[in-house]
Copies of this chain bind each other. A is one copy, B any other.
Amino acid sequence: MSTISVASLSAIDPDVLAKAAEVIKCLGHPLRLRILEALESGEKTVTELQGHADATQAAVSQQLATMRARGVVDNRRDGARVFYRITEPKVMAILACIRSCDLPRE
């Protein structure tokens, strides 16, 4: 019996789901998560982010590149500095979730 059973009361469509996994993967990493957290309050330079995230410049820059490739962040240059900001709206929502749900102790 070869039933197909595309259940779907669920409903996240496969493409959206794949894209979502991509975006979410960006958040599943402490450093990236911290960077995004810092960006939540507005655009920041790489150096500023470096301070917020307590990581080397290279590390921060690299994770920013990863996220840029996935369309999660965006940048604009202002002279010698480059300002980054969050472009993917999901990110803000998910960060909000993390805070609201929270898990106080553990």
Please, which residues of chain B bring their CB within 8 A of the CB of A3? 51
Q: A24's contact among B17, B27, B89, B102, by CB below 8 Å, is which?
A: B27
Per the bound structure, the CA–CA distance linking A25 and B94 in Å amounts to 13
- The bracket for how many chain A residues form the interface is 35 or more
Contact of A41 among B6, B10, B27, B29 (CB under 8 A): B10
State how many copies of this chain the complex holds.
2
Does A40 belong to the interface (CB within 8 Å)?
yes
Neighbouring B residues of A10 by C-beta, 8 Å: 37-38, 40-41, 52
Contact (Cβ within 8 A) B41 A17: no
Are A21 and B12 in contact, with the CB atoms below 8 A?
no
Q: Which residues of B contact A25 (CB under 8 A)?
A: 25, 28-29
The smallest C-beta distance from A96 to any residue of chain B, in angstroms, reads 8
Find chain B residues with CB under 8 A from A95 CB: 12
